[in-house]
A and B are shown apart, each in its own frame.
Chain A
């Protein structure tokens, strides 16, 4: 079918075109429509020069030399305001990831105490490894006893007053020394976030460099603390991901089954939804109501979690959440936290779809709230699934439009799975990097943003990198974008450069490795740290680079900051709100190199962004004498 240029410009994904045309037909609005209605967006906001931190304002700084205020009421300059705003974004992002980690620590604690309603310790090997890292004795103890100590130790990382955060010591010695020298080695996860809020209160820290350093410290507490805890504990409880085949894109919804979407970020409830969807009683109920089965599919990072661990198909990334509902085939969209559009309330009201919120932290207008508690996890999940199944009878078959597109993918490359694929040691990978068959590694991650053509930046950046023999590891919405275009199949090796192609073919792996949800960027840190330690260098010496081509969330700001703080050059595809301050912009794009060995760059064009990353990788290779 032919679509208008306006629709075609919004995405490169044919399912998006089809569903946007359908939305137009039904008179429904989506994020793209609301973005257009928002234009023009406030230039002061875009530059990051407005401050609402106290009530003498709101203040804003004019970027024109000859007109408008140059200082806020308190005297804060653009440099101060931009730095404060930026690190407040880091605080919010780090808080989101870390709260996710805390909730998993809580689940581990309840499970260890025997109060987890249906959870068990699935990866005992990982439990043992983590226990050793925390100096918890394992000799002759049951897994519950070990888990109880581990949960306590991990829990304590959040409220700690003095460091170090245990997992941060996975970073190479040189990196930790650098953090200590700069005074940015994080003490406790919560402490660094709280300190940002204190420092950015009226009249506290007004030195842009000092502010940014605290931002970096909190971001390290996120990447090597909260996020890494979330990843590791998820693996202990739900199993460490292994290569699994699945399907991606809206075509995974089924016309003749009860469709349940799990959306948000945490695996805790979705694990139980998956289990409940296999409950014989509920399957029988579905059959009685005329459905051929119960089809659980994922969206965003909750989707990535169940995709990686159970091969549950994924319906799409951030900007496809409304489109999934517009198919008219969704009995329930079950959400937990983060990246859930409040627009779903109104939208689901136009269909039979039930919008169910489950986290005590997140309620939405128009949603049914069924609060999730770990101690009755399975029972609650079963009730939610039962509601979805019963809702099937209200589906209007005439309103159902499901796109055909779904693409196979091979996912589940946790650090452990990559090691296993390499035969148990990093040595083969290092050999390929040394020989030049693989030029280097790139972590490409991040959200979608209606400011740019959906998936265009993600897919083209990744394709360009693999064509140039850069092995790509990915998480979050980028991973979903790659899955949808077949880049996560071993056959995609054909699209890689000659060196990478041979490596992928001999190992039977795709040139783009799915490492999980956005908290799982901690896995990428672990891989980089292991490679650096194996070579006896710092992460900043490695031929690696990072990118977030379509980022939008505060979590992405925290992620970008911890990736750069870890020594990895990072290219952003959408402009962060810092350009109002030359000092902060220069610090992030050049000055940081001397201090932490890495910088940010901003490049909206994915082909040029790839070139920046490739030339950075070449420079690092040359410096290592490769």
Chain B
């Protein structure tokens, strides 16, 4: 089962320049026009599902962590927020804009804003959907000029980390021959 666990966005704070390009790319990817300029020309609303924040001089983008046991899913009274096999989703058609998901999200990754659902203006929840319908994966990852963002699988990450730790361990062993002798 482990290898089927859904992917998530990995952020490298050391690479984030705080340029907000990921926010614009996110908003553009979720418009009909598919681009910022196209959306502005068509007077479409732009909504980003991520947010670049700064804490003590360090900048980094924050977005949905795609929690397995997601508080937003548990709290949603209408089933608008739900969990698929790979990610946590919002069905805006079922959303009543109650903001309970906003309240319980530990990351501040959900917001409620005005949008058009089935031809009607209403308030609904927005959150990162990992651009599941976009060829080539998340728009923010593709747009980041410094590659501070990447889409990763938990198993892959665990493998990478344990490999790196093992390599470090072996290297330190090699530098201390007396331990080997």
Contacts and interface: CB of A to CB of B under 8 A. Distances in A.
B147 interface: yes
A1 interface: no
Query: Taking each of B15, B16, B20, which has the highest tally of chain A beta carbons within 10 Å of its own beta carbon?
Result: B15
A43 B19 contact: yes
Contacts of B52: 40
Nearest to B53: A40
Contact of A67 (B53, B54, B59, B146): B146
A43 B144 CA distance: 13
Nearest to A67: B147
- Binding site secondary structure of chain A: loop
A133 to B, nearest CB: 50
User: Nearest 9 pairs between A and B by C-beta?
Assistant: A43-B17, A40-B18, A40-B54, A40-B59, A67-B147, A42-B19, A39-B54, A68-B145, A43-B18
B146 A68 contact: yes
A69 B146 CA distance: 9
A428 B124 CA distance: 76
Interface of A: 39-45, 60, 62-64, 67-69
B53 A64 contact: no
Contacts, number: 39
Given A64-B15, A67-B15, A43 B59 contact: yes
B18 A68 contact: no
Given A42-B19, A42-B20, A43-B19, A68 B147 contact: yes
Contacts of B15: 64, 67
A135 to B, nearest CB: 55
A35 to B, nearest CB: 11
B134 to A, nearest CB: 22
Interface residues of B, number: 13
A41 B146 contact: no
A69 B19 CA distance: 15
Contacts of A67: 15, 145-147
A44 B19 contact: yes
A64 B16 CA distance: 10
Contacts of A62: 145-146
Contacts of B59: 40, 43
A42 B18 contact: yes
B18 A69 contact: no
A63 B17 CA distance: 9
Interface string B138-166: 00000001110000000000000000000
Contacts of A42: 17-20
Contacts of A44: 17, 19, 145
Interface in B16-39: 16-20
Nearest to B20: A42
25 contacts: A39-B53, A39-B54, A41-B18, A42-B17, A42-B19, A42-B20, A43-B16, A43-B19, A43-B59, A44-B17, A44-B19, A45-B19, A60-B19, A60-B145, A62-B145, A62-B146, A63-B17, A64-B15, A64-B146, A64-B147, A67-B15, A67-B146, A67-B147, A68-B147, A69-B145
A208 B59 CA distance: 30
Nearest to A66: B147
